[in-house]
């Protein structure tokens, strides 16, 4: 069961973040009710953010999926499908491998702006 955290506490945690991209992403997520669980995950310390390898993405997705990763995508493994990957950041090796499959790479903030209802996404942590 998810622990309930108030928006006030999330906003206090947001003030301690130094990365402008991270602050912007959390602010956007807080404005959209459907993305509040992502805001909660991102407001934790950076060392607790998800790190997902390409192998995990390959196993847990199918062609055409939109994948949301509240953290960083790492380059261990390969991807053979064309999918849409939304994450806070990507390693350089992961970017190269993802581009080879012609998959779409999107920042988390951009996805929150384009899809405020969080429809059709698959969360991988």
For the residues 88-93, what does the mean pLDDT come to? 96
- What digits encode the pLDDT tens for the residues 7-24? 777 777 777 777 778 888
pLDDT of 2 strictly over 70: no
- What digits encode the pLDDT tens for the residues 28-44? 998 988 998 998 898 88
Domains detected in the chain: 7-123 (3.100.10.10)
pLDDT band with cut points at 50, 70 and 90 for residue 105: very high
118 vs 110: CA distance, rounded Å: 12
Which two three-digit tokens encode residue 18?
Answer: 């130094």
| pLDDT computed for residue 44 by the predictor | 87
53 vs 125: CA distance, rounded Å: 10
Beta-ladder partners of 78: none
| pLDDT computed for residue 22 by the predictor | 85
Rounded to the nearest integer, the mean pLDDT of the chain is 90
Q: Is the pTM of this model over 0.75?
A: yes
For the residues 68-88, what does the mean pLDDT come to? 95
């Amino acid at each position: 069961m998810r622990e309930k955290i108030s928006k006030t506490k999330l906003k206090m945690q947001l003030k301690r973040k130094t990365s402008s991209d991270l602050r912007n992403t959390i602010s956007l997520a807080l404005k959209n009710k459907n993305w509040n669980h992502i805001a909660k995950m991102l407001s934790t310390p950076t060392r607790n953010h998800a790190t997902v390898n390409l192998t995990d993405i390959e196993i847990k997705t199918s062609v055409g999926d939109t994948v949301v990763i509240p953290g960083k995508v790492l380059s261990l493994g390969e991807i053979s499908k064309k999918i849409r990957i939304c994450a806070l950041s990507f390693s350089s090796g992961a970017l190269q491998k993802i581009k080879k499959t012609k998959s779409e790479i999107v920042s988390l903030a951009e996805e929150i702006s384009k899809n405020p209802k969080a429809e059709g996404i698959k969360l991988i942590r």
